[in-house]
Structure 1
Amino acid sequence: MDLTKQYQPLKEGPMKYSAKVVSSVLFVSQLERSVNFYCDVFGCEQAIREEGAALLLDPGGFQVYLIAQGSGAAHYPTGVGPRLLMWATDSMEGLEHFEQVLKDRTDHTYKHSTGGVTFVEVRDPDGIRVVIAYPDPEQMPRSVLDLRLYL
């Protein structure tokens, strides 16, 4: 069976319906530590809290589901699947604010620019890569792929 035919567009031109990414699910070792990180750094609010899980909403409405796996859970840094969580801000002042907030939490921040976009990168308490970019894609559509995405 040729699977490439199965995933071909049904028609040319604009799609009648669309969908957008609205949530991310992160498996974490210590729920409270991760809730604090995302709330403190990104201004998320906890919308739901259950045993071993929380739903956070960022100020723009993006949802971050945190699911506790315990401190002995294995990390999967290679292979297929999500590699990082990327955020964007609409001003250089905003990027500098987030960079400082992250530097106050850890000295392992990394800042670089590619294709006119500046990125600040850090790892959350479980080592998940978190990147903040300026300008956001609505202000400046991307023209190149940042090589650090391949790490």
Structure 2
Amino acid sequence: MAYPNEAAPSGQHPAPLPADSEPTGSGPEAHGPRLASVVVFVHDLDASADFYQELLKMEVTVRTATAALLVGRSGFQVYIRAVGPHAAHPVGHVGAQYVIWTADSPADFQRCERVLRARSDQVDTRHGEGFTVIEGRDPSGLPVLVAYPGPEEAARLEIISRIYV
């Protein structure tokens, strides 16, 4: 079984790499591309920008009449694009369905839970093997999931039930 070149946090096991993928060096290119941005289409730009700013602790760096760019401390970006109050979001169609965020700490996870409970009428908590996921809704009704700890600290050994619902 192949593992990434980096050591796992103490007491944890890294997730195995697929059998046909071996690390090919020690530089950043050895790990392949990483996710840098997410684009979210929303009903109300102001409400959504406020929500994601508070939940994800990001700053709005660019804003137009119909879009905003939020940037986090690590440089990760969330583009929010208003598409109107009646635009549909069909679940189960081809394409990305959910983004699962990882809280920085237990205290940050509790903060995210407070934000979701204060701003969402649908909040659910699930426990996996070694991690917890809370799910709420953004102002457009889109699912928002936050997990703790992240996959770097607790390898995912199961597929969460939300993927099948």
Q: TM-score, normalized by length of structure 1? A: 0.85
Which residue matches 1:5? none
In structure 2, runs of 5+ residues without a counterpart are 1-19
Distance 1:43 1:78, change over 3 A: same
Distance 1:147 1:15, change over 3 A: farther
Which aligned pairs between 1:2-151 and structure 2 lie closer than 5 A? 13-15=22-24, 17=29, 18-151=32-165
Q: Tell me the amino acid that sits aligned with residue 78 of structure 2.
A: V
Asked if the contact 1:89–1:135 (Cα under 8 Å) also holds between the matched residues in 2, the reply is yes
Asked if the contact 1:88–1:136 (Cα under 8 Å) also holds between the matched residues in 2, the reply is yes
The C-alpha deviation readout for 1:58-84, integer Å capped at 9, x for no partner, is 233211001111112122222111111
User: How many aligned positions are there?
Assistant: 141
Residues 126-135 or 72-81, more deviating: 72-81
Q: TM-score, normalized by length of structure 2? A: 0.78
The C-alpha deviation readout for 1:26-81, integer Å capped at 9, x for no partner, is 11111111101101222110011123111111233211001111112122222111
Distance in 1, Cα, partners of 2:74 & 2:60: 14
In structure 1, runs of 5+ residues without a counterpart are 1-10
Moved over 3 A (4+): none
Distance in 2, Cα, partners of 1:15 & 1:56: 34
Asked if the contact 1:88–1:133 (Cα under 8 Å) also holds between the matched residues in 2, the reply is yes
Distance 1:108 1:12, change over 3 A: closer
Over the aligned positions, Cα root-mean-square deviation in angstroms equals 1.7
Distance 1:112 1:50, change over 3 A: same
Q: Tell me the amino acid that sits aligned with residue 28 of structure 1.
A: V
Identity %: 36
* 3-state DSSP of counterpart to 1:75: coil
* 3-state DSSP of counterpart to 1:33: helix
